[in-house]
Amino acid sequence: MIASILSLGAIGFLAALTLGFAARKFAVEVDPRELAILELLPGANCGACGYPGCSGYAKMVVNGDKIAATCPPGGSAVMDKIANIMGLAPITAEPKVAVVMCQGDNLKAKDKYKYLGLTDCRAAQKVADGPKQCPGGCLGLGTCERVCPFGAIEMTPDNLAVISRKKCTGCGKCVASCPRAVIRMAPLDATTHVLCNSHDKGALVRKYCEVGCIACQICKKQVPGAYEIENLLATVVYENHQDAPAAVEKCPTRCIRDFMVSYPDGSSFAEATVPLKKEDRAA
């Protein structure tokens, strides 16, 4: 009995000695708060906060001792938790969602030429500025769909990118990946958008797309505060987006669409009918 206690005690003591010595020799100091924050972050390494991946962001928050940027995918829930870890005032970012400002799939928008090669929008854009006659339209080759870390983008059977308001966390990777800058960020609760990205004259737009904006100014006349025509292309003024839906029926080319009513044709996202408030999204 004594022997067992003594022997184990001796081994333990010896081990403790070597470890104590080693601990001093190989000391490396790591801030535990950094790991705690890292756990909270979604881990998509999307870079929307402007830092190299989530570990970069966590390091910044701990070292910088102030929250210099928000984490869009994390949203306000994560930001509040980080704030109380760091004992700082939480900064809330207005939740944003990405929207593909185009409805010109293969049926509606005409081709400039038959493209052969990589199914990648950036590669196709390099071949004579893309296979579509419209200079700003969605090429529909799925680059944004592959880049999205949250699976929020789908390609309709007729090659049009559509982004689900429910799944999109606003990380912005798709915006950076699109060679034609068709995808833009919009406030979460703004559901009505002018789905067009072409600044050509109306007559030209009519020639190559059935659902393009021909800058006929009807929407602006209908709801002056909610629409703005700039360089021959209408856009929704998101400050007062509530009364934007009124002009949806009036648009002659059906270019304006309210996602609360329906997504572009061919899209499988049906959650539009469910009225989405900020709280449901956070769950």
> Of how many residues is the chain composed?
283
Site for another protein in 100-139 (CB under 8 A): 111-118, 120, 122-123, 126-129, 131
d(CA 122, CA 134): 16
| Contact track, another protein, 67-106, x by CB under 8 A | ----------------------------------------
Decide whether 123 or 276 has the Cβ nearer to another protein.
123
Per-residue DSSP letter, 93:
P
Decide whether 59 or 184 has the Cβ nearer to another protein.
59
Decide whether 118 or 261 has the Cβ nearer to another protein.
118
Kind of pairing between the strands at 227-230 and 161-163: unpaired
Q: Which residues, 6 or more positions from 133, have their beta carbon under 8 angstroms from its beta carbon?
A: 109, 110, 111, 112, 207, 208, 209
Are the C-beta atoms of 175 and 72 separated by less than 8 Å?
no
Decide whether 104 or 131 has the Cβ nearer to another protein.
131
Site for another protein in 16-35 (CB under 8 A): 16, 18-19, 22-23, 26-28
Decide whether 21 or 249 has the Cβ nearer to another protein.
21
Place of tokens 């002659």: 252
Site for another protein in 252-271 (CB under 8 A): none
8 in contact with another protein (CB under 8 A): yes
Query: Which tokens in the block code for residue 36?
Result: 């705690």
Decide whether 77 or 118 has the Cβ nearer to another protein.
118
Query: Which tokens in the block code for residue 95?
Result: 């939740």
Place of tokens 């950076």: 176
Are the C-beta atoms of 72 and 48 separated by less than 8 Å?
yes
Per-residue DSSP letter, 94:
P
Task: In angstroms, give the least distance from the CB of 165 to another protein.
Answer: 23
Task: In angstroms, give the least distance from the CB of 228 to another protein.
Answer: 29
d(CA 17, CA 173): 52
Q: Which residues bind another protein (CB under 8 A)?
A: 3-4, 7-8, 11-12, 15-16, 18-19, 22-23, 26-28, 111-118, 120, 122-123, 126-129, 131, 146-147
